[in-house]
Structure 1
Amino acid sequence: MQTPRDHETVRLPRPVQRWVDYGTEGLRGPELRQRRTLNAIAGLVPMSGLSYAALYLGVDAQELWPAAGASLLFCLFAAWPRIAARSELAAWLFGATLAVGVQGLLVWLLGRPSGLHLYFLSAPVIAVVCFGTARIGLLLGLCLICAAAMLFTEMYLPAPAPFITVDERLLNFLQTSVFVVVTGFVTLGVYVGFAHADRAERALEIEYARSEDLLYSLLPREIAARLKADPHATIADTLPNVAIVFADIANFTPMSRHMAPEALVDLLNGIFRTFDRLADGHDLEKIKTIGDAYMVAAGMPNAVGDPAQRAANMALDMLEVVRASSVDLPEGLQLRIGMHVGPVVAGVIGTRKLFYDVWGETVNTASRMESMSAPGRILVTPAAHGQLGTEYVFEERGEIEVKGIGPIRTWWLTGRA
């Protein structure tokens, strides 16, 4: 899986990249993005301060040297990344104090006609872009201070300071440039914020859909809906007529000793994936796989009128699938299947690795039928035989002694009538 450092799309000169990445070790996600933004702004603000200082000195060094000196104070932002690497709160307070203080000094020197007070609009935007919205109290305080500074400028600073004479053309240029820069910066900040929000929402939608698909692959849709509606609810249902099919690959353990792990997994995966498609096609509920054993049920979680017929069709199709899969195996491959019909209790237990399970004598009997079946054959009980009736072909096996149950008359299910 790629980390944010693994897919840099913007190629920057190595010194610039080192500056942008300063102090970002161990940061991920929004914190990494914010710190890189802070570092980039910490490099751009001093350049802006130097350019303004050069402008003032170039126009009238004798009159505008106080404004040039104040602009040079923005070079102190070069220390911002180092402060942020040690304390984010200290960096927040340092940046806000320096931005508001130096800008306030410049506005006092050049007055409202310069338009420099519009830069107060950018201070809260910078705070959000570089630090996020976690410190809402500090952010609101900064907004109030900037609003008060703008209001004070409009009311009490109608002209440059008395000891400074500024050419009107310079004031017009400053006002225009400030308007363009602040508008662009605020727009960019809002755009970046919404772009990241949109990207996060799309990622959440994708992850939600993925988690939904995973949930519905683990649990029946009806059961998943009940758990989502009440995660602490006890899911336990009594179902009166459910057909249980157990299938097991005969002689699989000795055969697996001669197979590479990858070949073994590929073989089981291919067979069981086909069984899953069969279960969907016959509208059966896959319960679980245990090693090379596969368990499936008809008539749950919702009752159906023909659970035995669905289970019998599934079992016959499973034999055909395994016969087709055994062609490429020298020792062949055969399935041993058992089937029984009756009442069960079904539900979800635990809090981790949840799955919809089923319990009861019906399950135990179907499991016994599978263990006492023969390779390539389906062994069914009187209950299953009675419900299937004349629609299927049987071969009587006779009465067998079943451990924990006693003598049971059984049949081989050999096909459809």
Structure 2
Amino acid sequence: MKSLTHIIRRLRTAGIEPGDSEELKLQKALLVQASGLVSIASMGWLLIYWALGPRPSPTLPFLLQVLVAGNLLVFAASGNFAAFRFTQLAIFLFFPFITQWALGNFVTASGLILWGLLAPLGALLCAGPRESAPWFGAYLFLTLLSGASDVLLADFVAARPAVVPLKASMAFFALNFAALSSIVWVLLRFSTIEKQKTAAALEEAHRQLRIEQDRSERLLLNVLPQSIAERLKDSDCTIADGYAEVTVMFADIVSFTELAADMTPKQIFGMLNRVFSHFDELAERHGLEKIKTIGDSYMVAGGLNPNETDPCGAIARLAVDMRDWLAGEGARGPNPIRVRIGIGTGPVIAGVVGKKKFIYDLWGDTVNLASRITAEGAPGAIQCDARTHSRLACRFNFAPPHVVPLKGKGTVVVYRLNDPAPTPGIETVSRDRVPAPARAPAPPPLRSPASVTGIASRL
């Protein structure tokens, strides 16, 4: 019963298996469909002959039915498509010639050998151009052989009484041409439609692949700068680049531990995501490269992209925008978020560390300096090192310098950046005066090391 069920399933599905390629599925479907059409045509051929009056022997049409059906059953049982294809094409090729020779000549058989054309055509559709060449050669040879025999035996055949009346013979000329043309058209149409479906499915797969590729590209560019991502895709070499001058900025949320104490994990995540997402938008607007987030700290750099013309100024404007946004529309709840910001400028090493879950990061004294002056800053303060101050002094307002003790570096002079300096003659640019946006209140001044030491002695 299992074998019978298996055979029926293969007959119903044209022997197509789940692992077959699209081309093999089409070949199996075409050959099984051609076998069915030939069987129907042979039955119709015999019935029409009997209806018109001639009484040829039913042996040959019946034998054709047995051969075609038996070959289909063998294929359904074995699944050997190559053997099924060869034997079925051989039946299509030789049987029309044998039948015509049995009926007489080309005229009396109504050009029955035209059906042999199904063999090279089937080989072309179900095997390929190269495999169809021998079949077409055999068809031409048998056709020329039949024609030569008809010419040599024309006088002998003319002396014999006609087996098939001339009217019936002429009618079957038309029927054979029409039936064969119909079968060829049906097979070609089916093949074309299936190939169009396959092409459409392939195009859809390519479209989905492009969507996934674009998504992967965007994800990669969210992790790495574009130039670094392209280098990683092109080779597996280690990426470590030295830059003579890069401006690095850190922004730390003030009293994050106290803020998070009364919040659920979901609320903490929502707060950080809201703040850092807006920082991402600001960094992109200023053409800067976000490096990473470290807990409640945000790191961004300028000068890594050779197309940046003023990375130090862009970092300073970003810092002011971040501070003012948190003091204005970014403030929410009874405890508004404030940040400490530190900016350092100098040489860095930039590269990708590791081979799995890698990140793009910066190293060097400039990075350490920016991070430490951030930690020493007051809430809402933007601290800059001397090198950054020298590049921004003519464009931004700074508080007087003060000295900050840093672990491992001793005392360092830092400058607190307040606001962009007003551009001379800005009032003459436009007749309409636009009021300047409200700035955050100036943070309290840092205490000098001497005052800190005095307080400590009193304590």
TM-score normalised by the chain length of structure 2? 0.68
Query: Which residue of structure 2 lines up, in the alignment, with residue 70 of structure 1?
Result: 64
Distance change in 2, residues 1:21/1:183 (3 Å) = closer
- Evaluate the alpha carbon distance shift between residue 339 and residue 77 of structure 1 in structure 2; reply closer, same or farther with a 3 A threshold: farther
* Aligned residues of 1:49 and 1:72 also touching (Cα < 8 A): no
Structure 1 residues 171 and 250: CA distance shift in structure 2, 3 A: same
Q: Check the 8 A contact 1:381/1:410 in 2, yes or no.
A: yes
Q: State the partner residue of 2:313.
A: 309
Once the two structures are TM-superposed, the CA of residue 155 in structure 1 deviates from its matched residue by 3.1
Are 2:60 and 2:99, in contact at CA under 8 Å, matched by a contact in 1? no
Work out the CA distance in 2 between the residues paired with 1:79 and 1:261: 68
Percentage of identical aligned residues: 29
Q: Highest CA radius of gyration, 1 or 2?
A: 2
What corresponds to 1:399 in structure 2? Answer: 403
Report the CA distance between 1:43 and its aligned residue: 6.8
CA deviations 1:342-385 (Å, max 9, x no partner) are 11122334444455432211111112222333333222222222
Q: Which residue number corresponds to residue 196 of structure 2? A: 191
Q: Secondary structure at the match of 1:156?
A: helix
Residues matched between the structures, number: 380
Tell whether the 8 Å contact from 2:247 to 2:345 is kept in structure 1 after alignment. Answer: yes
What SS does structure 2 have at the residue aligned with 1:380? strand
User: 1:110: how far off?
Assistant: 4.7
Structure 2 counterpart of 1:297, which letter? A
Who is 1:276 aligned against?
A: 280
Pair 1:220 & 2:239 matched: no
232 and 307 in structure 1: CA distance in 2 versus 1, 3 angstrom threshold:
same
Structure 1 equivalent of residue 444 of structure 2: none
Alignment of 1:152 onto 2:141: yes
Change (3 A) 1:78 1:277: farther
Q: Partners of 2:89 and 2:261 in 1: how far apart?
A: 75
Find the partner of 1:249 among 253, 256, 259.
253
**1:122 — aligned with what?**
122
- Residue of structure 1 in register with 2:293 after alignment: 289
Q: Does 1:364 align with 2:368?
A: yes
Is the 1:319–1:376 contact (alpha carbons within 8 Å) kept by the matching residues of 2? yes
For structure 2, list consecutive stretches of 5 or more residues without a partner in the other structure. 1-7, 51-55, 101-110, 151-156, 158-162, 422-459
Aligned: 1:175 with 2:180: yes
**Which deviations, in whole Å up to 9, do the C-alpha atoms of 1:98-157 show, x marking residues without a partner?**
432332343434566453233232344345xxxxxxxxxxx5763344333433344334
What amino acid sits opposite 1:296 in the alignment? Answer: V
> Once structures 1 and 2 are overlaid, which stretch shifts more, 342-351 or 190-199?
190-199
Query: Secondary structure of the equivalent of 1:347?
Result: strand
In structure 2, what is the Cα distance between the partners aligned to 1:249 and 1:207? 36
Say what the alpha-carbon RMSD is for the aligned residues. Answer: 3.9
Determine the structure 2 residue equivalent to 1:267. 271
Q: Which amino acid aligns with 1:313?
A: R
State the shift of 1:312 in Å: 1.0
- SS in structure 1 opposite 2:336? coil
Residues 353 and 325 of structure 1, relative CA distance in 2, 3 Å threshold: farther
Structure 1 segments unaligned to the other structure (5+ residues): 1-14, 85-89, 128-138
Q: Name the counterpart of 1:56.
A: 45
Aligned to 1:298: 302
Go from structure 1 to structure 2 and tell me whether the alpha carbon gap of 1:122 and 1:384 turns closer, same or farther (over 3 Å shift): same
Paired with 2:395 and 2:267, the residues of 1 have a C-alpha distance of 39
- Identify the residue that residue 339 of structure 2 maps to in structure 1: 335
Distance 2:363 2:143 in 1: 79
